[in-house]
Amino acid sequence: MSAGLSGEGLRRARARAQLLDASREGTVRSATAVVSTLVGVQAQDPAAAALAVGARASGLATGDVDAALGDERSLVLTWSLRGTRHLHAGSDVRWLVALLGPKFARPGRRAEQLGIAGDIGDNAVRVVRDELASGGPLTRPEVKERLAVHGVDPSGQAAIHVLHRAALEGILCVLPSSGGEERYVLLNDWVAAAPAIDPDRAAVLLARRYLASFGPASPADFAAWSGLAAGVARRAWAELGAELTEVSIPGGTSWLLADQWADVEAAVHESGPLRLLGGFDSLLLGYADRSGFLDPAHSERVNAGGGIIRPTVVVDGEVVGTWAYRRSRRPDRVEVETFRPLRDDETEALEQEVVDVSRFLGTGPLTTDVSVASGET
């Protein structure tokens, strides 16, 4: 089966798959359900990760994300996709780490520069595992102290690289900080055991899950999002075979899971809402080519350099601006810079979204300052 989508239809289809359509209103979604749908949420910035969840569920607050990470243990924080820190549903974390870890845990040039390659690095990982097994959760300063005894320089970045490797080898995960030092714990002590999945089968499972929450998309998009080698991504894609529907989009071809087409047909006729997304949002990280929802003329306003992706304003699946939360002496404020003037209905929707962000963060009332980016009319 082959089908076609306009640029508008493509944006709306992706917004629906990403839980950024109007279904947030009146739909009960837990923090864990949102993260599971997205397969994972980048969490280098904890506040941004929480905002990614809040933008896709009605009525949640940051405390719900914290509870899922803490007492409930239904969310887990570790390194995985692209070798970066993510939130994952507890039911997903083991097979994802087993699939992605072998690529990203391998010591490279940076490990050599830090003096933790070869036997020294192997021993450092064993030390972390043994210390966590005997001493329970440890903070980063405590890990540095233990590693220093074994010749690892505690003054630089060596310790965090050891922790990164240990996480990608399935040894540990990160506990929520609760305002203090983050701690590390053995994954086996935090997450229930699960049957191992053959790597080839896991790659196909990941491709299927990716398409369910990011389609329409391409194998190149899947590789960019996951961090899998291009050949692995293409083979997993090919294994889906008859499960896929080819979709013609402006400038190329993408694919959907065949059973998604009915949802896509419904989505293309429904204008999407305005949403304030946090930095590093899954929408921005999910595709090798963002031109379907972000005009390349504005990409540098979103990509701040150094791997930073700013918080964005999305209307009907399209990135139309950036925003920032500014603390002040009261009231705190939200500064919005749009790429075009907002319509009256969009301005009203923005004010409502700021109120919801305030509720989600528990900040109290926020003022909103809106400007149009320099050079835009």
Q: What is the pLDDT of residues 283-323, one digit of tens each?
A: 999 999 999 999 999 999 999 888 899 999 999 999 999 99
Predicted pLDDT of residue 32: 98
* Residue 377 banded pLDDT, cuts 50, 70, 90: low
- Tell me which H or E stretch contains 2: strand 2-4
Rounded Cα distance, 70 and 64, in Å: 10
Rounded Cα distance, 289 and 296, in Å: 10
Q: Rounded mean pLDDT of 147-165?
A: 94
Q: Which two tokens stand for residue 303?
A: 């990509």
Q: What is the pLDDT of residues 80-105, one digit of tens each?
A: 999 999 999 999 999 999 999 999 99
Domain map (residue ranges) of the chain = 2-13+214-267, 19-190, 274-372
How many CB atoms sit inside 10 A of residue 119's CB? 7
Angle at alpha carbon of residue 161, lines to 64 and 76, rounded to 5°: 20
Task: Classify residue 192 by burial, with Cβ atoms within 10 Å: 0-12, 13-18, 19+.
Answer: exposed
Indicate if the pLDDT at residue 205 is higher than 60.
yes
Mean pLDDT of the chain: 94
